[in-house]
Structure 1
Amino acid sequence: MNLIESKVIQTKFEKEIFIDEISNIELSGFQYPNKNIPYYEMMVGVDLMRIRNNEFYGTKKSYFGLRITEDLQSIVVFDPDQQSIFAVKNELEKQAAIELIDYLLIESPKFKELVRKMIYNNKQTNVVSDIEIQEHKAKLSVLEGLLNVPNLDVKIAVQKKKIAC
């Protein structure tokens, strides 16, 4: 028998179930440090099955953001403006979402497999200019850091993303 790892967030109205499969995880929106933002940033999306009144209620994609310092020594989880995994949740429900994020970043074999695939694909990418080479190396370093999250300083505090005017 092949058991699949899953995590459940029990909310007031429903159960949000994450099944640990590569197809249920998305890494997107990679941003490089610049003069205004001194860290790497990316979004992590997870597909959640919704169960209400013991019946399937559909799926939804929820996101959380990662900010990784330029020296690749710490990660901060932040709350995105839209489709947040923390949206419409009380403190206990947010704690369950934090436990899911902790599981994804530190324990999930499928998250690690996805990151390894991204590293492999990134290494196969043909880069030409000096800027592309630098960005390519930086992205590889960040992805490789995600394989070793237990060795980093992870701050899982629900921080609202502030957008400069």
Structure 2
Amino acid sequence: MMDLLNTKAIKTTHGLELYVDLIENIKITELHIPTISNPYYEVKFEVDYFLLEEHKYYDLHQNYFWIVMDENLSSITLKEPEMQSLFGVKNEEEREATKQLLGEWFIKTTAYKKAITRYVNECEHHNIDIKKNQRTKEIVQFLKKLLELNTMDIEKALMETPVYF
């Protein structure tokens, strides 16, 4: 059953984007920890939403975005993927509304928390002795930091868009 009370909508030039807090609507699709060539923690989220277009039925869409943090887990950047960006094909006002949605609603949803908790549990299950596995320890620490994000963290986050040549 859909929790329509915990649903948010964004009006765009393409139609009304309807975001519903369902566990299957938010997934972690990639996760990276700092390396020599990329000194950032990165997690890529898939977000499913309904697009209600005028004179049409609704369509389910899947788009993505990254939350990126520095090695100290102190600064946050929202990063667009090159394809299927949650911010793609939107004007500046719609992009700002999407960022606001992430800060005021997304990070507070049950689905967001469950996606992170599920990933933490998988890491802990596959690596029984976390104290000895530094990589798993870093992943779990990063994921737990994501659970602590608040609205201001997202609103203050820089936006990084792909560069096309």
TM-score range normalised by the length of the shorter chain: 0.7 to 0.9
- Give the root-mean-square deviation of aligned CA atoms: 2.6
Q: Which residue of 2 aligns with 1:104?
A: 106
The verdict on how the C-alpha distance between 1:62 and 1:104 changes in structure 2, with shifts beyond 3 A counting, is same
**Partner Cα distance (1:145, 1:28) in 2:** 18
Counterpart in the other structure of 1:117: 118
Name the structure 2 match of 1:42. Answer: 43
Q: How many residues align?
A: 160
TM (normalized to structure 1)?
0.84
How far residue 3 of structure 1 moved from its aligned partner, in angstroms, is: 4.0
Is the contact made by 1:75 and 1:152 (CA closer than 8 Å) also made in structure 2? Answer: no
Q: Which residue of 1 aligns with 2:145?
A: 145
Q: Which runs of 5+ in 2 are unaligned?
A: none
1:157 counterpart residue number: 158
Contact 2:3 2:20 survives alignment (8 Å): no
Of Structure 1 and Structure 2, the greater strand share is in 1
Contact map agreement 2:76 2:158 (CA 8 A) in 1: no
What are the equivalent positions in structure 2 for 1:1-165 lying under 5 Å apart? Answer: 3-4=3-4, 5-53=6-54, 55-102=56-103, 103-105=105-107, 107-126=108-127, 133-150=133-150, 153-154=153-154, 155-161=156-162
Deviation readout 1:116-161 (Å, 9 max, x if unpaired): 2221222111368x9x912111110011111111399444332124
